[in-house]
Amino acid sequence: MYFGNPSANESNDKDVWDEDFVLVNHLNEVLLDSTINNNNATNFGATETYGKIGNAKSFDGNSSYVVLGEDNLHKYFDANQSWTISVWANLSKYTNLGGIFFNRYADSELFGFYTRTSNDVMYTTRSSDSNSINGTPRSPTLNTWNYYVISRDFENTKINFGFNNINEQKTDNRIGDFISDTTKECPNCYFLGKMVWSYDFITWMYFQGLIDEVRISKIARSGEWIKTEYNNQSVPEEFIKIGVLEKSLISFP
């Protein structure tokens, strides 16, 4: 924070994030990763718009999507690793299998959030041993911003599914990986705005609405962390308050 020096112009945005963040993308015009890892994104037709935290990307539900991190994210999703994914989304329509954040790797491994025509958002994780653990589907009001999180705690065999300030925890004893062999069918399938459900990797389904502020960590963020991030990002002016400048009563020689 700059204070008392109107000519100050230095910043260090890379060190804002702790070392466990492997990707933070604000989804503004340039789609650059805000961490030191350079897991930048590539845009395919999503348009710029005002978002939850600054600018965001708008997805048309027909063909637009964003690819995250290219091939650099696989190493964070092996069987014995913990990880956390969070994203803000604003649905304009409940499209069929509309991927908000979604990864599909080969026949088995998949995880992410997607919309359904049953008017809800589904949380899903499935490891290479075809063992699935899903979160409770959520039904947000259309045209409102909501916060979605999946956090896998390998060491403590837990998985958290976050929706706004609600956290749901389940036991996760899976030994299968989520990403292992980058020679498989879909080596850079980390998508915002679309998903594939069929094994042929041909039939893609698209999300309609806005997406903002995607973050990936290489550790499991706790339920308390998830709630704090939601409170901080949801209404920042209520999370922290800055009072008026106080005058010092101490005089110095």
Read off the CATH number of the domain in which 32 is found: 2.60.120.200
Task: Give the position of tokens 């710029």.
Answer: 48
Q: Identify the pLDDT of residue 183.
A: 47
Domain count within the chain: 1
Q: Does the residue 7 lie in any domain?
A: no
| Alpha-carbon span 82 to 218, nearest angstrom | 6
Q: Does the residue 210 lie in any domain?
A: yes
Token duo for residue 205: 């389904």
Q: Identify the pLDDT of residue 200.
A: 66
Q: Does the residue 14 lie in any domain?
A: no
Q: Does the residue 246 lie in any domain?
A: no
Q: Identify the pLDDT of residue 110.
A: 80
Query: How many residues can be counted in the chain?
Result: 253
Using an 8 Å Cβ cutoff, are 217 and 58 in contact?
Answer: no
Q: Identify the pLDDT of residue 253.
A: 57
Token duo for residue 106: 């080969």
Q: Does the residue 244 lie in any domain?
A: no
Helix (H, G, I), strand (E, B) or coil at 210: strand
Residues in the chain where the model's pLDDT stays below 70? 1-6, 8-15, 70-71, 105-108, 130, 175-188, 198-200, 247-253
Q: Which domain holds residue 81?
A: 20-239
Q: Identify the pLDDT of residue 244.
A: 78
Token duo for residue 225: 């962390």
Q: Identify the pLDDT of residue 49.
A: 96
Q: Does the residue 10 lie in any domain?
A: no
Residue 131, class by beta-carbon neighbours within 10 Å (0-12 exposed, 13-18 middle, 19+ buried)?
Answer: middle
Q: Does the residue 251 lie in any domain?
A: no
Q: What is the dihedral of CA 200, 201, 206, 207, to 10 degrees?
A: 110
Using an 8 Å Cβ cutoff, are 228 and 111 in contact?
Answer: no
| Alpha-carbon span 219 to 147, nearest angstrom | 19
The contacts found for 54-57 with CB under 8 angstroms, 24 or more apart, are 54/26, 54/28, 54/212, 55/26, 55/27, 55/28, 55/29, 55/212, 56/27, 56/88, 56/90, 56/210, 56/211, 56/212, 56/213, 57/27, 57/192, 57/193, 57/210, 57/211, 57/212
Q: Does the residue 31 lie in any domain?
A: yes
Q: Identify the pLDDT of residue 164.
A: 96
Q: Identify the pLDDT of residue 179.
A: 59
pLDDT in tens, 137-175: 999 999 999 999 999 998 999 999 999 999 999 998 876
